[in-house]
A and B are shown apart, each in its own frame.
Chain A
């Protein structure tokens, strides 16, 4: 078991933390439980979980890995957890005993010694587990399903059996020759094999201490790999010792998650025949053990089709991963009586105006009245009740939307650029309220600054003593509670102890969320301009956070590779979305609040169901970490932008890539659809704002059942036609974009002299 111990630095870290002050421990242990419940213990043992919805693998393998996990739990004195896992996996009581006792040696004795504390802790954990498991109804089933994650020791030991190291070169070049000689239509598909095989062979060589052979192998063949794997190859090249393999997360990911390839049946047969003829067992073994080949019937795909979808850390998404039904429709807007009489604007406008409003509102709500078949049930997840102030805001919103400019390819939006001057390269996040009245910036110096961009200044609520003095019955009590002396355009919020990477206003403008390098998410009140809650749970930097469009819930994601769903009144997460193989770099709520999209450094985008925590979509195709996500206002499409400077468009319902927008030359940090969804705006590090014709991009689609079934679509290269405008700033990277309710585009960034 030494290997396990050595290899599981992460797990041990987390256990250590558990003995820290309770507040920290709660979040963390809860995270652990969450993983156990929601997906797989792999996440706990080094962050190695993959999709939850994989089919259960063959029983013997499963049992073996389960046993490994059980052993680990035993060893860590998590007796109760082990018991639960054992029960749920349906293993016999004594399954673990023979191994378990000798492995953990003095385990029982020690456990008894510290049993008191542990026991209490564990039981309190359990009570929480049961609570959350009842919420996540399908959890038990999944726990069983997600057990195909082999343990670290298993993974590493898989390398022990091997052939002659000197022959690896020959094996690989033999396969290369074969693939180069096959028919063109198969070559592109089989070429996909190069990269995973290359990596696994290299790692095998390294694992078996054939350093020089490995180096030579790397130098000889690394140039053949697709350029979008460059980043991973760089990591790989630095890894030359067996010792390095332990604790290297990227590597563990590669080992533990099977690389997914999509190959047509014909091509696969061809490959199989070749390998059997040549008796090339080495390669065959790797394919069997470490690759997942998703075979489909039909025409082999072309090179461009493959290139469009590949690039992720673990290959393409399996087809069945994107099969689950997604309710991407919008929720029905609550009926709000429009008070027609008390609006001063109506006075000057003729009678026609309010009449116009009705049909307009109808047209907006027409779909929802009919109950969009794709929309989730109104009560699928509990949403907060509308308050009076929310209703007022809704009315304001409708009033504004009647004045909305209809955008299109011949009617481009005006762009107002907010430049942060004197930021010394310290601006790290920006958000704008929905009504465009406030702008908040997160800075590297740990501060959060909130500006009012309307003449209305920011005021604090009076202190408690002063509040006692005011007349609570007066009509303008809301005005009276504000302290006029504190009025200013800018308020600075202090509290974080590291750069603030994510920032988000609540829809009602009463709260502000910020996530930071210090591992916390803070909730700030915009009434008192103080910190209300610090949400602890991510023990590593939190890269992004966002409020749900209905408030109350929020999502966060960070370096620990899990996204968490929180509610503002719970100090622990409600859901933990585990599955990404690298940092979660951005998070976004679906407009109907039932789903959460996360983008990651593993170059995939995942869509998670808030109700049950399942991963319902995996989108692959980006060639770099994803830094921007945006849902179209109708909820049907998702746009994503990455460091590779490309914007990809996804059809959520079909789980397909439907477009690729090329043009940016640097990381895209911001994406936003116009209010009616006609225009997609993208902002990038290359100092440009670009506008794309989203209508055209989505209209041109033919997503028939066939393309949906095979999961690949031929993308035409029409970026230039879809690009409506490019607007260069002087030297300001564009960090945030926001369409006002009237479709004026606001952009923000820090001037970078």
Chain B
């Protein structure tokens, strides 16, 4: 196993330049080359020796990471004074820099303004160690509770759906053994092969336990019910619970049937609820939806392009639903499109066809454009930009011609805004400056002049943004304890939380009573870990977000489509080591003010959505936003 590594491990010696540098730093000017070589060899050997001892401490500390204290202990073994002051929050405190053909690792020491430290409120005391019990297995079967990992990992579900021949269901692996009675974490690879490829997949009966049935009932009722708080809880549960794999088919059918019925009845609110369920399912990191797309995609597409989604098309904001569904569509295309299922091309084809159809109504036209636009800049460039003239003419006919109906006019207006919004940013990228109104008119027809001004705005914003992002960073402490309602109750006294022991769980509960945490919009790359204790009042819920590297860099988080107004973009940043954030009740939000247009896709929907559902619009004013490209904006609709 180590054959390939072994070649390198021999004779790694510190460079002699390091010796020289170190000598200089302690005031020894001229060091002979020979002494340098001798020193570097000796030092390398001693360092290796210490590293080996430190490893012992790591092993006995039952850790996988070597820490500075391990090195200290190893030094103590050798009767050497430990190095003080290296208690680093981060695992490796070094920064890397390169330039001029040289690579350098250095220890970053920032200048600290003392008044800042004095004036900031003291961080809360980290939580004390506490003990918590759960059932890892009950008579050999692992229960699906949040404390346990999901029964089938996402990768496994993925292989199951993409390469069904390779997969052996748990419980069918070997007839005699009850190995499958527990869940099989043994890799199924290879086992299927041995049994030959002509292996018929036995029909599996899906039986839900009583608890699961109850859960299903509660969740679906809450999702489409009238209580918004309950719905938020239910969606949160769908988005985070690890044990839903078994119930996925039911949910999928529920959604598809629900859409079918409610489209006919033009029940906008219910359609929005159902789409939010789709979103929650997609957000669940333990579910792999590929198998259920045949039910979900038609439902989503219906919500994008249906002629009528609401009872009063002139008043109700069905446009927001179309936007949201379009975004879901784009997300599922991005995640699940493969060369076998061709989701993206099939969807594109469908949308283009109805877009090119002259008889298409404004509502459907809007949906088609939104659906295509969300698929990314390339799609806009190839499919929408060429149509701009045609669409412009059509809009002009409605706007300036004799007023046919109010509905048509609203439709045309919306299509116009949508086109301007999406096309401006793309054109700003592909078209060289200067932006001439006449050229635009010549090229894009009726929409040309408006487009031109939008493009100009987009350009100025893009340059402005780059400067602003770096400047306007301010750190605020958690404005509203949305994430830790129950926790703050416990820690409110200021002292360390009294460690609570929860006794051996007496029975298996699927529906853990959760504190009312609003559903978290979760970008796909962001990891949420939810630790919940199901013990009534003492329950705590922590949501830890590890922001991945690309979101941490300000450049990628800029919003290309932004044009004029300021829009808060919130990043959740983990301070210090992940281990510390996990325990600290205080979470740090960095609010970056970003300019964006009023019609930007990032705009809070509360202003657009009808009042009937606007109570769900914002979670305490905090929006977690992560948009790397306009096409995959993963914002939640509420």
Contact = CB atoms under 8 A, between A and B. Distances in A.
Contacts of B580: 424
A215 B41 CA distance: 13
A725 B7 contact: no
A612 to B, nearest CB: 30
Interface-central residue, B60, B61, B73, by most chain A CB under 10 Å: B60
A178 interface: no
A735 B45 CA distance: 33
Interface stretch (B112-120, B132-140, B277-285): B132-140
Interface string B181-214: 1111110000000000000000000000000000
B92 interface: no
A416 B134 contact: yes
Interface in A431-476: 439, 441, 443-444, 449, 451-455
B59 A422 contact: no
A727 B132 contact: no
B124 interface: no
Interface residues of A, number: 89
Contacts of A724: 140, 178-179, 182
Nearest to B11: A215
B531 interface: yes
Contacts of A418: 131-133
Given A425-B63, A428-B60, A490 B501 contact: yes
B507 interface: no
Interface string A206-243: 00000000010011001100010010011101111101
Contacts of A420: 129-131
A422 B130 contact: yes
A726 B41 contact: no
A667 interface: yes
A644 to B, nearest CB: 10
A654 interface: no
A499 to B, nearest CB: 6
Given A723-B179, A725-B140, A219 B10 contact: yes
B131 A412 contact: no
A234 B133 CA distance: 42
Contact of B185 (A215, A416, A627, A688): A688
A641 interface: no
B55 to A, nearest CB: 9
B484 to A, nearest CB: 14
B591 to A, nearest CB: 25
B179 A444 contact: no
Main secondary structure of the interface of A (DSSP, over half): mixed
Select the residue from A233, A540, A730 with max chain B CB neighbours within 10 A. A730
A237 B64 CA distance: 24
A239 B3 contact: no
Highest count of chain B CB atoms <10 Å: which of A240, A409, A728: A728
B177 interface: yes
Contact of B182 (A239, A421, A454, A727): A727
Contacts of B49: 238, 248
A601 B178 CA distance: 36
B311 interface: no
B41 A222 contact: no
Contacts of B59: 585, 625, 627, 643, 667
Nearest to A409: B178
Contacts of A723: 179, 186
A446 to B, nearest CB: 11
Interface stretch (B141-149, B218-226, B552-560): B141-149
A730 B131 contact: no
A251 to B, nearest CB: 11
Nearest to B177: A721
B544 interface: yes
Contacts of A489: 499-501
A505 interface: no
Contact of A230 (B6, B48, B63): B6
Contact of B10 (A215, A244, A419): A215
A349 interface: no
Contacts of B606: none
A443 B500 CA distance: 18
A159 interface: no
B250 interface: no
B471 interface: no
Contact of B73 (A541, A543, A583, A669): A541
Contacts of B148: 728-730
Interface string A558-571: 01000000000000
A526 interface: no
Contact of B137 (A244, A415, A441): A415
Given A215-B11, A685-B64, A227 B2 contact: yes
B138 A421 contact: no
- Which of A13, A241, A517 is most buried by chain B, counting CB atoms within 10 A of its CB? A517
A254 B178 CA distance: 47
Contacts of A234: 9, 52
A516 to B, nearest CB: 11
B128 interface: yes
A414 B139 contact: yes
Contacts of A240: 11, 41, 45
B175 interface: no
Nearest to B135: A416
A414 B138 contact: yes
A420 B45 CA distance: 38
Contacts of B57: 499, 517, 541
Interface in B497-522: 499-501, 503-505
Nearest to B185: A726
Contacts of A691: 140
Closest CB pairs A-B (n = 4): A412-B140, A725-B182, A415-B136, A238-B48
Given A227-B2, A419-B134, A424-B583, 14 more contacts: A215-B11, A227-B3, A230-B2, A421-B131, A421-B132, A428-B62, A451-B131, A453-B131, A489-B499, A499-B69, A688-B185, A725-B140, A730-B149, A753-B582
28 contacts: A13-B79, A215-B11, A237-B10, A241-B45, A412-B181, A414-B139, A420-B130, A421-B129, A421-B130, A421-B131, A422-B126, A422-B130, A425-B61, A425-B63, A439-B131, A443-B129, A453-B503, A541-B57, A559-B77, A585-B59, A625-B59, A691-B140, A724-B182, A725-B140, A729-B136, A735-B62, A750-B62, A752-B579
